[in-house]
Amino acid sequence: MYIGRNFSIIAAMEAMKAYNIFFLSWLFPGMGHIVQKKYLKGIVFLAGILLLLIFGLIMEGKFYDTKEFHPLLILGFLGDLGSGAFYFIIKWTGLGNGNIQAVTYHYGTTYMVSAGLINYLVALNAFDIARGKRK
């Protein structure tokens, strides 16, 4: 019985670790993999997501906002939020306001929302590795 309790405590700690890695990976793209010694993957994810965001900003794309309540805008906002710390940095610096008159505006916005959506997948991958479901 005592051994069983120990096992459940270990299992709970393992689960907590996996959730912490998920949160870390969401906040800093690629960091969840780097912490688990998957250096190449971590660097590729960080570089790829940063490139998408930088190209999106160069193309004068914008982050979706929640000023108007519309389901599609909310979904876009949730997608953007996937970029973690980069989302907040770009928002606070005012770079993510976009320029609707720019020819590349829609492409830029797509680049930026894709960065967030892919980071959700990256964070889930790091979560699976932490739980031992993937290598």
Partner 1 sequence: MIFKSHFYAMIIFATIVSTLLAFIRYDKKKDILKYGLKIFLYMSVGVIAFSWVMHYV
44 touches partner 1 by CB under 8 A: yes
Element at 11 (helix H, strand E): helix 2-27
104 touches partner 1 by CB under 8 A: yes
Is the separation of the CB atoms in 108 and 61 below 8 Å? yes
57 touches partner 1 by CB under 8 A: no
105 touches partner 1 by CB under 8 A: no
45 touches partner 1 by CB under 8 A: yes
Q: Would you say 87 or 111 has its CB closer to partner 1?
A: 111
| Three-state DSSP string of 49-118 | HHHHHHHHHHCCCCCCCCCCCCHHHHHHHHHHHCCCHHHHHHHHHCHHHCCCCCCCHHHHHHHHHHHHHH
- Residues interacting with partner 1, by CB under 8 A? 41, 44-45, 48-49, 51-52, 55, 58-59, 103-104, 107-108, 110-111, 114, 118, 121-122, 125, 135
